[in-house]
Copies of this chain bind each other. A is one copy, B any other.
């Protein structure tokens, strides 16, 4: 929860509220049998609780009065979807459905629909479906239709009872405003929708799953770009939040994608990389190029008027944590002078020269997202000797991430999307100078780190300001908002004049794990 000053760009207050139920993956809160493997659910009540607790807390922490808040922007994980009735009630909150797993929110990392995704990919490939080329040639089991079809196959009553199967970000906006308006970002990246081509045809779905109804039935057909005003706060909701009734609410956003605006980027050629447990890479361009090796390209998916490209790596911070926590069993708090093991290892790794240890790693600890798109791939460490140290391996892991990024950059360039610089945000960008220097050295591009640890929330808040409009103290267009609120540069890294041509590239892609809801405000 971030309270952002739309004039100065100052981050007035940041509040974190944890979901009471977290991730539901063993049994439902209402009881019932054990959930099947790869199930990952959430309780939509948690989302509202976070809003109703966090917004008043943020106002209090920032010393901001309710009338100073003019807009709200939400960003959310995606594809995180739930079945709802026509009035927006989640089925899982109704007594008659609450013990059925398919009535609950399917979190982005719910992977139990993999067989459906496999089938859709096989049929789409066999039919040479054109929409596939917007997604690097493959759909993910994490996306909308695999999840929806899983419900249709396994609990037809839930399928029939739902009025819509909506992204959580859209559902929250619906709750706040009283009207349903879906985001083009999640529809484009996760539900195979395109502004110009619409959805995959019913004939395709019929070929894969005979009898499956019109794909737009539960998804809808109208989608709005980022910054579009979904409406104003409902009076009763405003009262509960401690806000005034004339607060504009922007259409929902997806967490990683909103980082582009949050980082102040609105130029083609800038490679925005969100480096956390995994990496999400984002690039905007005026033209659409269908290419392999990306997660997707969506018009208006990131900024209005641009095609937004997504790529990424599946294990980054997760891989480093595996090394220190799971393999070495290092004590996070027990370094010299109170620093943690990350800092200890990084200090040592920084003094090792490129190629000095002879180690090469492939970072596929969680499969490869892009450019190979193969979740079954796994990691490699080569060059091990009796003299190899943990510090050397740690550096090799950092290098493997940098080479994964380089391969993704090369893929864009090879297909006609020029890349001239890198803007990095996320926890590891903030924390690891060495990772950032390696990223600059290996990609041979300058790397800039914005001075904010709330980049996605800044993006969501910024779109809240656009939804409010200039007459209320916000912005009339996204371009002005991004330019006005661009964060300062905290650190920057120039490529060293190193020869890295002898190293082996690797690659991967990811979704960030963070799930946050963000409020925006302007001091009047």
Q: Which positions in A face B, CB cutoff 8 Å?
A: 315, 318-319, 322, 326-329, 358, 364-366, 378-386, 388-390, 393
Contact = CB atoms under 8 A, between A and B. Distances in A.
Given A365-B384, A380-B384, A384-B380, A389 B326 contact: yes
Contacts of A328: 327-329
A358 B376 CA distance: 11
Contacts of A319: 386
A277 B252 CA distance: 61
A113 to B, nearest CB: 20
A391 B311 CA distance: 34
Contacts of A364: 384
A115 to B, nearest CB: 20
Contacts of A379: 382-385
A312 to B, nearest CB: 16
B385 A366 contact: yes
Contact of A381 (B318, B384, B386, B389): B384
B382 A315 contact: no
A384 B388 CA distance: 18
Given A328-B329, A382-B380, A388 B322 contact: yes
B378 A315 contact: no
A358 B378 contact: yes
Given A322-B388, A378-B385, A381-B384, 10 more contacts: A327-B388, A327-B393, A328-B328, A328-B329, A364-B384, A379-B382, A379-B384, A379-B385, A380-B381, A380-B384
B327 A386 contact: no
Contacts of A389: 326
Nearest to A315: B386
A366 B383 CA distance: 10
A386 B329 contact: no
Contacts of A383: 378-380
Nearest to A383: B378
Nearest to A363: B384
Contacts of A386: 315, 318-319, 322, 326, 365-366
A380 B380 CA distance: 7
B390 A327 contact: yes
Nearest to A318: B386
Contact of A385 (B358, B365, B381, B390): B365
Contacts of A380: 380-384
Contacts of A329: 328
Nearest to A314: B386
Contacts of A366: 385-386
6 contacts: A322-B386, A326-B388, A327-B328, A327-B388, A327-B390, A378-B384
A515 to B, nearest CB: 19
A13 B262 CA distance: 78
